[in-house]
Structure 1
Amino acid sequence: MRTLVMWDIDGTLLRGGGLAWRAWQAAFAEVTGREWRETPHIGGRTDLDLCAEVFSTHGVTDCTPERFFERYVELVLLEQHLFAEQGWLMPGVREVLAALGDEPDVVQTLVTGNHPVVAAAKVGAFGLADAFDAEVGGYGTDDSVRATLVRRCLERAGQKYGEQFRAVVVGDTGHDVDAALANGVTVVAVATGGVSSDELAAAGAHHVLPDLSDVDAAVRLIKA
């Protein structure tokens, strides 16, 4: 049985330097005409979930998520080169992706709270797009509940490849852990996104690493 590795993006693979969130706030102001008042907790949540909270907090009833996302994506794409200029990759990411990419029994994809176009822009800015089969990924516009993104990814991979996979989520928040466990998927958590190793272990992660700088250890755990 081959392994499907589902990578989270923000805090796990990279930091985008705040570009996406600045675009989010600018798009919100443009499409709703409302002044930004309150920023929600972001880490590990889906774009649909965040959109629902932001609209509710600001009393927005005359705008759809689809309309908002259209402008948000446009603003991100205008400055997508800044992801690499203002952001950075987490330690060991490029090396671990390359090592897993050399394994014939591994398929890597993305399971992220991001809109799919924004996800592609982020990994593309760092030259990582070819590491992933983005077509089978799970994205923040699939559903507001992150566990559903993992399920959609499993379904898409099964449909495309005609086989079942042993799946692994690699993420940095309790939301990543919960989403994986809800689908019976192994979790390799990394403490690079602001959640401590102890917290990730307490959430139920099967394996916890401080980061991915020990490439051999990371690959071994992901393939275990």
Structure 2
Amino acid sequence: MRLLMWDVDLTLLHAGGVARESWAEAFGAMTGLAPRVLPTFAGRTDLDTAAEIFRVHGLPEPDFEEFFDRYAAAFAARRDLVARHGRVLPGAAEVLAALAERPDITQTVVTGNIRPVAEVKLDALGLSGTLDLDVGGYGTDDGDRATLVRRGRQRAEAKYGTFADLWVIGDTRHDVAAALACGARAVGVASGSAGADELASAGADLVLESLADVGAVVRALTGSRCVNESSSPG
């Protein structure tokens, strides 16, 4: 059995900027302030970025549970905007569907998003049915992304039993580093701001230019380990 843990944003989908609006609304509701600046979210966890935004505004650390409840509610209220302005990245839906048919593969997520937000994004764009979201790693697990990978694996093995190996698929150096820190196989997808060379230099076992060539991606993710191999499906 192989466990595949997918990053969400810019690996599988683009949510159309809705998260930033929802984040600002939650911050304003908690503080009465409009945020002067929002943090960089790519590859980071919501717990980490929430701590940063309060810190840079000179505010004490908040009740994170309250903050994330407000954020989740603000995001859920914008679900139609995600469906309207968001998009699934080329090949993502087809790759997930093809892998879901394999009995030796379990798919979940490892994402810096809090779980309710990840669920809305994936559901609004039609991707949730191929992923077991109960066993994922989420942005409230820890500020360190590697801990998200470990927690996700623990949840998956509690449900399914031991996996022969774990692969983490993401679009940033943070995804690669988290995978390697946990002894997982790191697959970099150059669909975000990091190019193929950057992901390879970060130590990714396999680098894909995109998920667009569905057959090539499925073969790559169901094959044996390929160290620092670059592929260009699509």
The answer to whether TM tops 0.5 is yes
Deviates more, 1:52-61 or 1:158-167: 158-167
Which residue matches 1:158? 157
Which residue matches 1:24? 23
Aligned residues: 223
Note the alpha carbon deviations across 1:120-173, whole angstroms, 9 max, x for none: 000000111111111110000011100000000111111111223411111000
Which residue matches 1:196? 195
Which residue matches 1:82? 81
Which residue matches 1:3? 2
Note if contact 2:54-2:61 (Cα within 8 Å) is conserved in structure 1.
Answer: no
Note the alpha carbon deviations across 1:51-73, whole angstroms, 9 max, x for none: 11111001121631111111111
Provide TM-score, normalisation by structure 2: 0.93
Note if contact 1:32-1:63 (Cα within 8 Å) is conserved in structure 2.
Answer: no
Note if contact 1:5-1:169 (Cα within 8 Å) is conserved in structure 2.
Answer: yes
Structure 1: 4+ residue segments shifted above 6 A: none
Task: Give me the CA root mean square deviation.
Answer: 1.0
Structural mapping, 1:138-217, within 5 Å: 138-217=137-216
Structure 1: gaps spanning 5 or more residues:
none
Structure 2: gaps spanning 5 or more residues:
224-234
Provide TM-score, normalisation by structure 1: 0.97
The one-letter code of the counterpart of 2:192 is G
1:29 and 1:79 mapped to 2: Cα distance? 17
Which residue matches 1:131? 130
Which residue matches 2:228? none
The one-letter code of the counterpart of 1:189 is G
Note the alpha carbon deviations across 1:178-217, whole angstroms, 9 max, x for none: 0000001011111111111100000011111110011111
Which residue matches 1:38? 37
Deviates more, 1:143-152 or 1:34-43: 34-43
The one-letter code of the counterpart of 2:153 is L
1:4 and 1:62 mapped to 2: Cα distance? 35
1:164 and 1:208 mapped to 2: Cα distance? 23
